[in-house]
Amino acid sequence: MIPLAVFEPGGDAATALYILAFSLFIVGIRRGTHPTTAKQGNMIAAVGMAIAVATTLLLDGIGNWGLILGGLAVGTAVGVAASLRVQMTQMPQMVALYNGVGGGAVALIAWSEIRHGLGVEVPLEELVPILFSAVVGSISFWGSNVAFAKLQDLIPTRPLAVPGQQVINGLLLIGILAACVSIGINNDDISQPLFIGILIAAALLGNLVVLPIGGADMPVVISLLNAFTGLAAAAAGFALDNVALIVAGTIVGSSGTILTLEMATAMNRSVANILFAGFGGAPAGGPAGGGEERPHTSIGAQDAAIKLAYADSVVIVPGYGLAVAQAQHAVKEMADELERKGVTVNYAIHPVAGRMPGHMNVLLAEADVPYEKLREMEEINPEMPRTDVAVVIGANDVTNPAAKNDPDSPIAGMPIIEVHEAQQVIVIKRSLSPGFAGIDNDLFYEPNTSMLFADAKQAAADIASEVQGL
Amino acid sequence: MDLIVEITIFVLAAFVGFEVISKVPTTLHTPLMSQTNAIHGIVMLGGLIVAGFADDGVEYAIGFIAIAFGTINIVGGFMVTDRMLGMFARKPKKAPADPEAPKP
């Protein structure tokens, strides 16, 4: 329709612009690792992406403009609408969803490449990356969708175990590899049905691998799938001879792997452990379900306000419950009231507070909590015995002393905020129900713990007004 | 491009990725993951190439969906990252420690 073609595919001019684009990605990621430059870094990477897209649109021979512009328009509309409407609390599942569609795109591109190769001999150096991107893209698409559904509470967050899980996964993987080898051997006569079978088997595998993983481990899984999608994109670059795809995909793959390992370390879990042994996969978390009611102390907002207002130092431990209740502003107001009474208030941030590392920092920053009041776990734990009152708001597993004291606990060894060391603990929570890991929290039943059963936002607002009246 | 050249690029890029991400404060883990997530939306280029040369109904459909998916990945990814990082923007009233800030 429009003779825009300026660049020869694979020519020097196009390649030079691709090199510019991926250089901007590298600078963007580099800046993204520092708080003061991160926003700018994201912009720089986005500019790089715009250059890469524009260059590709101007390649000689590109046609079907209606199709392309339609796809771009639909994608942009959905992306913009979703990004503007999503709540800060829903960020992790949003990232999962974006990662999923990226993986889906890779798998579809691989399918299209295979269709181009029907009836002719496809060299292995093209076929192997095509098959790799098809398998990994399909796993990533479905795995990310399951992760999204779990975080969005569309399906139960607790681990869903299928009997014989590992065996089924193993068989699926062997089947996929065998089918790939078969296509590789018959690379002059590729069977499209067999290829579609591979896509479906990889889709099943993606579902089955992520379903048994508990919600608490989901951030690590999303990060891992992110790295996988990067590698799949790089493989697509090999198949298409596109240097921008190779470099950008590989960098996401390797940096994503490092990020995944850092996250797993923060939770004291190994990636293998997360993938192959879901929390409570064995019914170790038995007491969570039925069982007798254990004795605990319950208080109201007024008592909590008195405890807090006459303390010298208070540490607030925010968790995902705070995020769900959108309580960050109410909690900030409560802290302001306490500070007016001369109480020192700090926030103890567990490395995986919320549902992703750094998630809670974002939420509290949104409520104008000053940076220097957000204290990291290692920094605040030694101060706990000198803390008068620790207020746990919507956090659960990250405060469970069983992680330190009970070697048989499913979360044994996970680093925790040691609130049980504080003089007194107030836990604001809707009920005694177990957290993401699906296990009971001994903290609730300690003699110096008081439970305040309420919605986090309401409770914080009530305490703030009670403190004001004191 | 020669396969061996592509493999060279791949290996070097892998090391760049490892190096560039060292020592990230926990606070930035989520935004950074989201940003790298947006960058792998680059696969959309593959969708453009595939759709641009498509010549039957199934391929039109595949190309269209691949472009739409890839664009969601790119546009949504960068915008969501920008929103997250916007939360850390310095508030004008009480500027926390930043010596580079040119404001009074």
pLDDT for B35-48, tens place per residue? 999 999 999 999 99
Q: Which residues contact A38 (CB under 8 A, 6 or more apart)?
A: A31, A32, B28, B31, B32, B85, B88
Residue A94 to residue B53, Cβ atoms within 8 A: no
Kindly tell me the sign of the dihedral angle through the C-alpha atoms of A122, A128, A129, A132: positive
Q: A389 with A308: CB under 8 angstroms?
A: yes
Measured in whole angstroms, the distance separating CA B25 from the mean position of its chain's CA atoms is 19
Let me know how long chain A is.
470
Question: Contacts for A367-370 with beta carbons within 8 Å, 24 or more apart?
Answer: A367/A328, A367/A329, A367/A331, A367/A332, A368/A332, A368/B91, A369/A328, A369/A332, A369/A335, A370/B94, A370/B96
The tokens for A215 are 């919600």
Contact B59 A112 (CB under 8 A): yes
- Could you tell me the two tokens for A165? 């899980």
Cα A372 from Cα A463, distance rounded (Å):
24
Q: Which residues 159-218 on chain A approach chain B with CB closer than 8 angstroms?
A: none
Cβ <8 Å between B75 and A83? yes
**CB contact A108 to B (< 8 Å):** yes
Q: Is B30 on the interface with A (CB under 8 A)?
A: yes
Q: Which residues of B54-83 are buried (b: 16+ CB within 10 A; e: fewer)?
A: beeeebbebbbbbbbbbbbbbbbbbbbbbb
Tokens representing residue A454 in the block? 């309420």
Q: What is the pLDDT of residue B90?
A: 52
Give the C-alpha separation, A262 to A226, whole Å.
14
Chain B residues closer than 8 Å to A38 by CB: 28, 31-32, 85, 88
Q: CA-CA distance, A226 to B77, in Å (whole number)?
A: 12
Domain-located, residue B99: no
Residue A247: which of B9, B47, B94 has the nearest Cβ?
B9
Q: Enter the tokens of residue B37.
A: 């997530």
**E strands in A310-384:** 313-318, 344-349, 374-376
Residue B54 lies in a domain: yes
Å between A455 CA and nearest CA of chain B: 24
Q: Is A61 left (phi over 0), alpha (psi -120 to 50) or beta?
A: left
Contacts 24+ apart (CB under 8 A), A367-374: A367/A328, A367/A329, A367/A331, A367/A332, A368/A332, A368/B91, A369/A328, A369/A332, A369/A335, A370/B94, A370/B96, A371/B96, A372/B96, A373/A345, A373/A346, A373/A347, A374/A347, A374/A349
Contacts of B2 in chain A (CB under 8 A): none
Q: Which residue of A has its CA nearest to B65?
A: A71
Q: What are phi and psi of A114, to 5 degrees?
A: -60, -45
Q: Chain B: nearest CA to A384, how far in angstroms?
A: 21
Of B13, B33, B82, the CB nearest to A42: B82
Instruction: Categorise residue B56: left if φ over 0, alpha if ψ from -120 to 50, beta otherwise.
Output: beta
Contact A396, A441 (CB under 8 A): yes
**How many contacts (CB atoms, under 8 Å) link A and B?**
368
A89-110 residues labelled b (16+ CB within 10 A) or e (exposed): bbbbbbbbbbbbbbbbbbbbbb
Is B43–A88 a contact, with Cβ atoms under 8 angstroms apart?
Answer: no
User: A252 to chain B: nearest residue by CA?
Assistant: B36
Inform me whether the C-beta atom of residue B40 falls under 8 Å from chain A C-beta atoms.
yes
Per-residue pLDDT tens digits for B46-104? 999 999 888 888 999 999 999 999 999 999 999 999 988 887 665 444 334 444 444 44
DSSP-derived pairing of the beta strands A344-349 and A424-429? unpaired
Residue B25 in domain:
no
Separation in Å, CA of A185 to nearest CA in chain B = 20
Would you state the structure tokens that stand for residue A293, as one six-digit string?
A: 């009611």
pLDDT < 50 positions in chain A: 1-2, 279-292
* Residues of the domain holding B77: 45-86
Q: Are residues B49 and A59, on separate chains, in Cβ contact within 8 Å?
A: yes
Task: Find residue A347's DSSP bridge partners.
Answer: A316, A374
Chain A CB contacts of B30 under 8 Å are 91-92, 95, 356-359, 362
User: Which residue reads 């579609």 in tokens?
Assistant: A196
Contact A246, A234 (CB under 8 A): yes
Give CATH superfamily name and number for A293-469: TPP-binding domain (3.40.50.1220)
Could B54 and A112 be called an inter-chain contact, meaning their C-beta atoms sit closer than 8 Å?
yes
Alpha carbon distance A38, A40 (integer Å): 5
B92 inside domain: no
A83 and B62: CB-CB below 8 Å?
A: no
Predicted confidence at residue A45, as pLDDT, reads: 97
- Domains in chain B: how many in total? 1
- Chain A neighbors of B36, CB-CB under 8 A: 29, 226, 230, 251-252, 255-256, 259
Is A321 in CB contact (< 8 Å) with chain B? no
A450 touches chain B (CB under 8 A): no
DSSP characters over A283-325: GGGGGGSSSPPPP-EE--HHHHHHHHHT-SEEEEEE-HHHHHT
Which A-chain residues 235-264 have CB contacts (< 8 A) with chain B? Answer: 236-238, 240-259, 262-263
